[in-house]
Amino acid sequence: MSAPAPATAPQQRRMLRIRLSDPAAAAAYGSLLFAVLVLIFPVSFPRMLADGWFTGRLTPALIVIAGLLNAGVYLRVAHLRSAKPGLAGSAILGVLTALTLVGLMLLESQVVRSQISHVSNPQAYVTEEILAHTYFGLISGLFIPYLFLRFAQGLKRLPL
């Protein structure tokens, strides 16, 4: 009687460990795309952002864009490294993206209100403020959640 074949254990996929260079490249390309849009549409692009900000549609739109980009980067890195994306990590990434953008936009609303009465050319100045704040908000939303996730993974060895 022949010996039974050894049972092959199901191959466990290791948890995904994030490196900061992964989201950095995506954020850099997003940043360069923003620069191209500002250079090609120097009037209409900032005005569109300012209109979106005043109608309250800019923050949700930024959360959706940053969230989709972050999810795309996370899944792509998991696929490239043949690693399993953690549920907790994905949830933390999503929550931090939304929190970063909402926090920065709330900060911006305070700034615009306080600055609008202090400058000689309020409309143009506020448009520039909103343009700059949208840019820094978007890049923060793409980079800061990964920064926190990286530190959490590194310090606590959490299964994120």
Select the residue interacting with another protein from 24, 92, 99, 102 (CB under 8 A): 24
Q: Does 133 bind another protein (CB under 8 A)?
A: yes
Hey, what amino acid is at 88?
A
Q: Does 18 bind another protein (CB under 8 A)?
A: no
Tell me the two tokens of residue 87. Answer: 């549920």
Taking the complex as a whole, the smallest distance from the CB of residue 58 to another protein amounts, in Å, to 16
Hey, what amino acid is at 2?
S
Select the residue interacting with another protein from 15, 17, 34, 47 (CB under 8 A): 34
When the beta carbons of 42 and 159 are compared against another protein, the nearer one is 42
Site string for another protein, 68-107 (x = CB under 8 A): ------------------------------------x--x
Cβ–Cβ < 8 Å for 84, 13: yes
Q: At what angle do helices 87-115 and 122-156 cross, to 10 degrees?
A: 150
Nearest alpha-carbon partner for 65 in 100, 38, 41, 89:
100
Cβ–Cβ < 8 Å for 121, 48: no
Taking the complex as a whole, the smallest distance from the CB of residue 59 to another protein amounts, in Å, to 15
Q: Find the distance separating the first CA and the last CA of the chain, reported in whole Å.
A: 47
Cβ–Cβ < 8 Å for 152, 29: no
Taking the complex as a whole, the smallest distance from the CB of residue 155 to another protein amounts, in Å, to 15
Q: Which residues bind another protein (CB under 8 A)?
A: 19-22, 24-25, 27-29, 31-32, 34-35, 38-39, 42-43, 104, 107-108, 110-111, 114-115, 121, 124-125, 128-129, 131-133, 135-137, 139-140, 143-144, 147
